[in-house]
Structure 1
Amino acid sequence: MQSPLELTDQIFSPPAKHEALRDEIYCQIMKQMTSNNNRFSIEQGWQLLWLCCGLFPPSQSLLRHAQKFLESRRREPLASDCLQRLQSSLRTDPRKLPPHQVEVDAIQQNSTQIFHKIYFPNDTDEIFEVATSTRIRDLIQNISKNLKLASADGFSIFVKTHDKVLSLNDADYFFDSLRQITDWSKQAKRIKEGGPVNIVYHVFFMRKLWFNVIPGRDAKADLIFHYPQELPKYLRGYHVCTKEEMVNIAALLFWVKVSGDKNQIAMIPKVLKELVPGDQLKAMSENEWRKNIVTFFNKQAGMTVEEAKIAFLKAVCRWPTFGCAFFEVKQTSEPDFPDIVRIAISKTGLTIMHPKTKSVLANHPYNKIANWCSGSTYFHMTVGSLVKGNKFLCETSLGYKMDDLITSYVNMYLRERTMQTRGQRYNM
């Protein structure tokens, strides 16, 4: 027995790739539904036609006939929806891939509304309606509006599979992106395990680009995204900070953990790993940490948990590494650097750091990076000019993330420059 998705793949994969086959699919479905007395067959035909109208339109020569077919069957439950989808597909680019499992499941249950769960960094989630023609940028705007965020800039949709977290391209269709990622994962897993595979994935909405992030300016964004995304980086010891800063932050984090309950002070030594960067735990004895944290903790009187979280962000945003994405890689091109280095990618460029001392080994602003590329086991970049530039080579399984992040920041600056140029022309 073939699954419904395997069948829809057989029908829609060829016309998604080859425009010349699209009219043939429309003709075959409409022909199957003409003078057909089998009600079950008719219903399945409508489901296929509904999927088809959302993927791509027929050619101009067939369009009038397809519209007449739908208009003459208005009593059918899906006819008017098919007509709407057909009109919509005429105004947009055709989809590149066959329907996703979610779309097939929805129409098989006679639901023309498709909902998808979106997860957030603060361990909450919400259901959002996603249409066949929804692009990633539409979904980003929709989620931002729903959450009442001050701006959608810098946010992105990510898909997490068993082995990867991939950021989706703003211009792509949501279901095409999902389809591409789940197909890649299936293929890789099938090669590894053999036989049929099932891919579990989750869709996340998170901040990707950290520019114009000023803690306290958008409390919603701070609490849902900035705090839960920055806290793990702090506790992993990625930042350079003083003892006093660490004690102050530890008091704020403990306030968040116990909701300001002073009766819980005795448990500080047990939860130190959740309050202090991992590499700094031995900087003081447990008793010293407790004593110093209590002093700062008592100064927080009257503060809410939300205020404590924003105070944490206000403390860490002063550091140059705030908002950076960190990658531990093995470098093979710089003899004066240690073999393992930490790379921090931020709005200003790429910084290479010593993983233990956290000292800066090299700074490369985006306008000095000539090119970059990545593969499943490496990340390479050229600093300076393409001809005389220095190559920086490293081994990492996260090269795809580094590549995507640098590309996104560079594209952001290119967009800004284009808008400024247009503005100057307009003013002239």
Structure 2
Amino acid sequence: QSSVPSLTSEPDSIMLVPAGDHYTMMDFATAYFREAWPTQGLKGTSAEKKSEMDLVRHTKVPIQESLLWYSDSELNELATKNFKTLMRFMGDESKLKNQSEVECIYEILQLCKEKESLHDEVYCQVIKQVTYNPNQESVLRGWLLLYLLTGYFLPSNILMPYATKFLQLASSDPSSTHQDIAKSCQSNLRKSFLYGGRRHLPWPVQIEALLKGHGARRLVILMPGGIEYLTRIKTFTVAKELLQEMCEQMGAGEQKEIEDFVLFAIRHKMVRPIRSEEYLHDYLLEDKLVTVTLRRLIWRTSLHFENKIYTDVHYGQMRWDYLNGRILLSHSKEMEMQVGILAMLQHWAKREQQNSAPSREELKEYTPKTLQSSISPQALQNHVGMLLKTRQPLQPVDAKIQFMEHVMKLPFFGYNTYFVEKVSDNTIPVPCFFGVNEEEIIVVDGTTQTISRIIPLEELQMMRTLRPVSDGGLPGIELNYGSAASPKAMWLELSQAKEMYHTIVVILDKTDLHH
């Protein structure tokens, strides 16, 4: 028996396109295709090698064995079956009764999802069928399938340089009808290499749209301050690309600052931050019930207010957080004075309001919900009235900036706050609040607002989400922290357990503290 080269992956792969004339698909085929290797005939005569060109050339005849050599007969059978499905999709063979093009694509992608060892085989089959194929419609369908394959599944480290070379040659041929889609395949493959490929197979409506030539979908992202950002995303757009686009529109083009922002996917009451390397379509369900929002999650870089959208977005987020309990506030005489100043600045931030005094209803809108019951409306109205008499009105943009400067000085600004109902440590009074920023997790007393525990993020060793202990109970998080010499553990129960868990993961990613 001849020694067939192994296709097992090597530990580290490269995405570089090999230079020169080497690493063509023909080189790969002559080294690894089953038909390129002489096999012993029944009478002991060696079968002739198939013409090298034919190995990677479109065929109208279904293959009888897998292109690559497999010792497992099941894989060989699945490979030949897949080739027939591929031929049906590309129009080289009649479809089965009631079989749609979408079903053909699904069958091929599902096979790749279930059998990683067949990734190279499927890549080679599609590349073979788009090479020297006289039917342009068939070629286009083959490239569409490659577009999906490259976005979902990586070839092995052995095939990778040959596949990248094939895509590079196809995308650099200006006379070709598939130059653009080949470039997209290159981009998809690079993303799959960097980020691992999309997790969920596309919905049928997505595949149907692709078949009709609609490769992008409209998406509205809700930004703080009620601003809507309209964009178009492709099948394999990752969050990082969209964040870059949105931040550049806001005048926040520095990479370090872009990393302070996060997109959130919201469905019903479930809120989940999207990691920068995750694919947006993995969050956008077919039912369109998912809302995507933008928030600044961490505050490492200084704010700058030369861009109106940037100013409005930051003002919108800080104002919402201040009014809705996202920033912890405790009632005190000093805080009452702050509430008055911040109410006046919010009033001036509205157009055409500089010269009028706010009504009692407006003052209620300007007061944090958590303090409305403890601050006398009359006292607040008197205080704001005094302030308005002694101060020169500001233009809206200046009022917004001053509001933000005041809010950023509040003791718990910059923490992402969660209401926790149970904690395993009985020295911590409950209910309490847990706050997370780029440096630490803090535990804050629900009544006195004093910090009872600080866990530096660099001490966090491991964490996991916990299912509710009983029906109707709350989910939880287990935190393992401390040093090897002094390990500590704590669990907590809260309705936002998943949101808090994923927020910490995203912060760890962004601050390079991920273990």
Q: TM-score range by the shorter chain?
A: 0.7 to 0.9
Q: Separation in 2 of the partners of 1:289 and 1:3? A: 68
Residue of 357, 364, 388 corresponding to 2:455: 364
Match status 1:146 vs 2:249:
yes
Q: Are the aligned partners of 2:435 and 2:444 in contact in 1 as well (CA < 8 Å)? A: yes
Q: SS where residue 372 of structure 2 aligns? A: helix
More displaced stretch, 97-106 vs 389-398: 97-106
Match status 1:167 vs 2:282:
no
Task: Compute the displacement of 1:247 (Å).
Answer: 0.9
Q: SS where residue 421 of structure 2 aligns? A: strand
Q: 1:387 to 1:114 in 2, by over 3 A?
A: same
- 1:249-328 mapped onto 2 (5 Å cutoff): 249-257=342-350, 259-263=352-356, 265=357, 268-299=359-390, 301-328=392-419
- 1:20-419 mapped onto 2 (5 Å cutoff): 20-22=117-119, 23-24=121-122, 27=125, 47-52=144-149, 54-56=151-153, 59=159, 63=163, 79-89=178-188, 91-92=190-191, 93=193, 95-97=197-199, 100-101=202-203, 104=207, 106-112=209-215, 115-149=218-252, 151-172=257-278, 174-175=279-280, 178-179=281-282, 181-182=283-284, 198-214=287-303, 220-224=309-313, 226-237=314-325, 238-240=328-330, 242-257=335-350, 259-263=352-356, 265=357, 268-299=359-390, 301-376=392-467, 377-385=475-483, 388-414=486-512
Q: Separation in 2 of the partners of 1:65 and 1:155? A: 36
Q: 1:360 to 1:250 in 2, by over 3 A?
A: same
Q: TM-score, normalised by structure 2?
A: 0.64
Give the counterpart letter for 1:395 in structure 2: E
Q: 1:374 to 1:90 in 2, by over 3 A?
A: closer
Cα shift readout 1:129-177 (whole Å, capped 9, x = no counterpart): 44455433233222212221153131122222223221122233x24xx
Task: Compute the displacement of 1:271 (Å).
Answer: 2.8
Task: Compute the displacement of 1:363 (Å).
Answer: 2.6
Cα shift readout 1:164-192 (whole Å, capped 9, x = no counterpart): 221122233x24xx32x457xxxxxxxxx
Match of 1:12 in 2: 109
More displaced stretch, 11-20 vs 303-312: 11-20
More displaced stretch, 272-281 vs 16-25: 16-25
- Structure possessing the higher radius of gyration over alpha carbons: 2
Task: Compute the displacement of 1:35 (Å).
Answer: 8.1
Q: Are the aligned partners of 2:480 and 2:488 in contact in 1 as well (CA < 8 Å)? A: yes
Identical columns (%):
18
Q: Separation in 2 of the partners of 1:215 and 1:245? A: 23
Q: Separation in 2 of the partners of 1:326 and 1:259? A: 34
Task: Compute the displacement of 1:340 (Å).
Answer: 0.9
- Listed as ranges, the gaps of 5+ residues in structure 2 are 1-97, 468-474
Q: Are the aligned partners of 2:143 and 2:182 in contact in 1 as well (CA < 8 Å)? A: no
Q: SS where residue 212 of structure 1 aligns? A: coil
Aligned Cα RMSD in Å? 4.0
Q: Are the aligned partners of 2:323 and 2:367 in contact in 1 as well (CA < 8 Å)? A: yes
Q: 1:66 to 1:348 in 2, by over 3 A?
A: closer
Q: Are the aligned partners of 2:133 and 2:139 in contact in 1 as well (CA < 8 Å)? A: no
Q: Separation in 2 of the partners of 1:216 and 1:351? A: 30
Match of 2:60 in 1: none
Q: Are the aligned partners of 2:238 and 2:277 in contact in 1 as well (CA < 8 Å)? A: yes
Task: Compute the displacement of 1:67 (Å).
Answer: 6.6
Give the counterpart letter for 1:104 in structure 2: I
- Listed as ranges, the gaps of 5+ residues in structure 1 are 184-196, 417-428
Give the counterpart letter for 2:289 in structure 1: V
Cα shift readout 1:227-266 (whole Å, capped 9, x = no counterpart): 2222233224522352211111111122234642534x3x
Q: Are the aligned partners of 1:381 and 1:392 in contact in 2 as well (CA < 8 Å)? A: yes
Q: Are the aligned partners of 1:215 and 1:314 in contact in 2 as well (CA < 8 Å)? A: no
Q: TM-score, normalised by structure 1?
A: 0.75
Q: Separation in 1 of the partners of 2:329 and 2:398? A: 22
Q: Are the aligned partners of 1:371 and 1:386 in contact in 2 as well (CA < 8 Å)? A: no
Q: 1:37 to 1:130 in 2, by over 3 A?
A: closer
Q: Separation in 1 of the partners of 2:304 and 2:166? A: 54
Q: 1:344 to 1:65 in 2, by over 3 A?
A: closer
Q: Separation in 2 of the partners of 1:36 and 1:163? A: 53
Match of 1:419 in 2: none
